[in-house]
Copies of this chain bind each other. A is one copy, B any other.
Amino acid sequence: MATIYEVSKLAGVSLATVSRVINNTAPVRASTKEKVEAAMQELGYRPNSVAQSLASNRSNSIGILVSELGGPFYGELLSRIESEFRAVGKHVIVAAGHSDAELERESIEFLRSRNCDALILHVESVSDDYLRGLADSGTPFVVINRHVAAVADRCITLDNELGGYLATHHLLERGHRSIAYVSGPMWKHDASERYKGHLRALKEFSLAEDKSLFFEGDFQETGGVHALHHFLDAKAKFTALVCANDEMASGAITVAHEVGLEVPAELAVVGFDNVNFSHYTYPKLTTVDYPIEAIGQMAARWVLKHVYQQPVPDLKAVFQPQLIPRDSA
C-alpha cells in the first residue's frame, strides 16, 4: 500500500499539501491539486484510516450497542444507522449487550477502548447513574428508547405510554371491555410505560385495572404462549389481548389456533412494534408501529451534529407511535 509520503514525492509536493487535498482542509492551488490527485491515482493510494485516526484523534467510527444483533427490531435499526453513517464515510462497530447490566457495561467499555467517536446505545440494564457517569467522562453518546433524566438531552425515545394507550384504545373502541394484557419484563422502561398507557385507556372508559388479566412475559414468543395458556387455565374472561410486543402476540396467536380460538372473532389480539414479520401471522397482526428506522436515523443525526459538527435538519427527541390496524383486532 502506498503511503502519503510516496504520493508527495511523486507529486513533488510536501506531505502537508497532500494531506490538504485529501481532507480538503485548506486551500490548495488547482494545478497542485491535480498533480496530487494524479499521483494518488497512479499509486492507487488510499489513506490509512488508522494513521488518520491517531493523528487527528478522530476514529470516524461509531459504536453501536444493542441488546441483540439478531431479531427483526435491531436489524432495522442497525441497517438505518449504518447507511446514514456510511454515506458520510464513517463506519459502525457493533456489539451486543444481551440485556445484561454487566455485559452492557463491558460492551460500552469495549467500544470506548476502540476509540469510537460516539456511541449509540440501546441499553436496558445499566443504571441511570452509570449513564450519567458516562456522560461526565466525556464520551459522546446517545441513548435510544429510554429516558434518563440526567442525560435527557441525549435520549431519543418513543412515547411508549401513548403506544400502550393506542393499542388498548383501539380495542375499547371496538367494544371490547375485558382486555387481557401481556407485558414485557416490568423492570424494562418501555414495558412499564406501555402498561401505563393501557391503564390510562381503561380509565378513560371507566374500567379499573384487573390484576387477573395481567401477565408479565419476557418479550419473547414463549411469553405470549405462556400468557395465553395462563389466562385460559385461570378461566379468565376476556375477549381481547394486548401484547407488549409482536413476538408475544405471535406466540399468543399460535396458541389461539391450537386451542381453536378464532382470531379475531373470539379473541382479538394486538401487538406492539410492527416488526417486519408482523404481517406474516395469520390473521395479520394489528399492532402499534414503532418507527425504529426514524429513530435510528435521528440517533445518527444527533451524532453527526454534536460530534462531527455537521449541519443536520431538525433533531427530534420523542417519537409518536401509531396504530396499524390489520386483521387480528
Contacts and interface: CB of A to CB of B under 8 A. Distances in A.
Interface in A1-28: none
A276 B50 contact: no
A280 B279 CA distance: 10
Contact of A114 (B49, B110, B280): B49
A80 to B, nearest CB: 8
B277 A61 contact: no
B96 A82 contact: yes
Stoichiometry, as copies per complex, reads 2
Nearest to A250: B280
Interface in A49-80: 49-51, 53-54, 59, 61, 68-72, 74-76, 78-79
Residue from A70, A72, A282 having most chain B Cβ neighbours under 10 A: A70
A48 interface: yes
Given A46-B113, A54-B50, A68 B79 contact: yes
A294 B257 CA distance: 32
Contacts of A115: 48-50
A75 B70 contact: yes
Contacts of A281: 280-282
A83 B59 CA distance: 23
A306 interface: no
